[in-house]
Amino acid sequence: MPTRSRSKLPSTSSSTTKTTSRKSAARNAPAIPAIPANFDPDAAATGDGLFGLTTTVAEANLVVIPVPFDATTSYRPGTAAGPAAVLEASKQVDLEDLQYGAIWRAGFTMLPIPREIAALSKKARAAAEPVIAAGGAEEGNRAHAKALAAVNAASARVNAHVAKEARAILDSGAIPALLGGDHASPFGLIAELAERHPGLGVLQIDAHADLRDAFEGFSFSHASIFHNVMTRLPKVGKLVQVGIRDFGSRERAFVEQSKGRVECFYDQHLRDRAFAGGARGSWNAISKDIVKRLPRDVYISFDIDGLTPEHCPNTGTPVPGGLTFPEVCHLLEVLAKSGKRVVGFDLCEVAPGARGEDWNANVGARILYKLLGCTLRTRGLLGG
């Protein structure tokens, strides 16, 4: 019997010529991919697409926006290479999932990695590095002021690019997601979703609070993403943070003064609750408490450093502690079963090693598949 390839993709079209245009009319109902008789999801992946599949944008129920940008990562760069690394690593992921079943059947794809954003990242990073090395922009330093202006302009271009792609995906009737890049990358996506889903709740899984105001002088720093979301996007109703273990005094005050709009499940508090034992200390009980704090419409923002550092040793700012892979899987499944609706997500800060080590991307690809499963389950696109 000949080996069958994953690249013989599930397709909604019987035509041999497939379009990648998103300008067709929005779908009234989700697309249901037809599965060719010779498609074998257990075969080795040979396709070039996400997880070795070749679903087109026109056929997909969920479309991932890759953003290879990391101008402001303050400890070490590299996450601009994240989308390409995760794309390659995804081809090694088995497609049958214990929690969600055949996630691939729902139909998802990733847009081409934009070369212009990758080039912009390199240029902006070069401008940012002297400011980062100095610990932030120095008052009266003209070179720093020029660098800040260049980086902030580049970040604004990224935000506009992401928002434009998100609008096109949403207008087509599909679900948008994002693969970064640094954690500043999803601002344009969150902004677009908040306009369409007023009262949107964000579930942030992260080592850092990311509530700094223009960290190091960069308006859209990776460390400022949720300060920007919560101060610039009034239609975002709630931010629920999980796994936080690095934060500043002003960030803590921001949470405490938010009148409940920001709720933080600090990593140490989660561990203390587990150490105390009893029913309340179980991860299942904790996960249910986290999900209970979210409104009906949810956006998931996943910084890979929310995991324990052995899962992401090459990310820009790894921190001891964090969530294990099984804990994340369970939390996402509790959300998937809660009756709430995930309207989009991002996965950011995945970075390959300096010598091309692929462990970070390997873990990132598996987290991405779980995010896809959780999201598609809440939208009725998977059985169960």
- Answer yes or no: is 27 within a domain: no
* Residue 29 binned pLDDT confidence (cut-offs 50, 70, 90): low
Quick one: 279 exposed, middle or buried, by C-beta within 10 A (0-12, 13-18, 19+)? Answer: exposed
* Residue 2 binned pLDDT confidence (cut-offs 50, 70, 90): very low
Would you state the pLDDT for residue 51?
96
Average pLDDT rounded to a whole number, residues 61-70: 97
Would you state the pLDDT for residue 187?
98
Residue type, 308: T
Q: Which of 86-95, 150-159, 217-226, 299-308 is the least confident region? A: 217-226
Q: What CATH code is carried by the domain that includes residue 206?
A: 3.40.800.10
Parallel, antiparallel or unpaired: strands 108-110 and 175-180: unpaired
Would you state the pLDDT for residue 1?
29
- Answer yes or no: is 44 within a domain: no
Would you state the pLDDT for residue 176?
98
Would you state the pLDDT for residue 31?
65
Residue-by-residue DSSP string for 290-328: HHHTS-SEEEEEEEGGGB-GGG-TTSSS--SS-B-HHHH
**Over the stretch 274-328, which tens digit does the pLDDT of each residue have?**
999 999 999 999 999 999 999 999 999 999 999 999 888 888 788 999 999 999 9
- Answer yes or no: is 228 within a domain: yes
- Answer yes or no: is 43 within a domain: no
* Residue 7 binned pLDDT confidence (cut-offs 50, 70, 90): low
- Answer yes or no: is 9 within a domain: no
Cα–Cα dist 113/85, whole Å: 11
Task: Pull the structure tokens for residue 160.
Answer: 């506009």
- Answer yes or no: is 16 within a domain: no
Would you state the pLDDT for residue 72?
86
- Answer yes or no: is 195 within a domain: yes
* Residue 33 binned pLDDT confidence (cut-offs 50, 70, 90): low
Would you give the distance in Å from CA 115 to the centre of its chain?
20
Parallel, antiparallel or unpaired: strands 96-97 and 101-102: antiparallel
Residue type, 167: R
Domain assignment of residue 359, given as a range: 52-378
- Answer yes or no: is 251 within a domain: yes
Average pLDDT rounded to a whole number, residues 73-96: 92
Cα–Cα dist 226/213, whole Å: 9
> To the nearest whole number, what is the mean pLDDT of the chain?
90
Q: What's the domain count of the chain?
A: 1
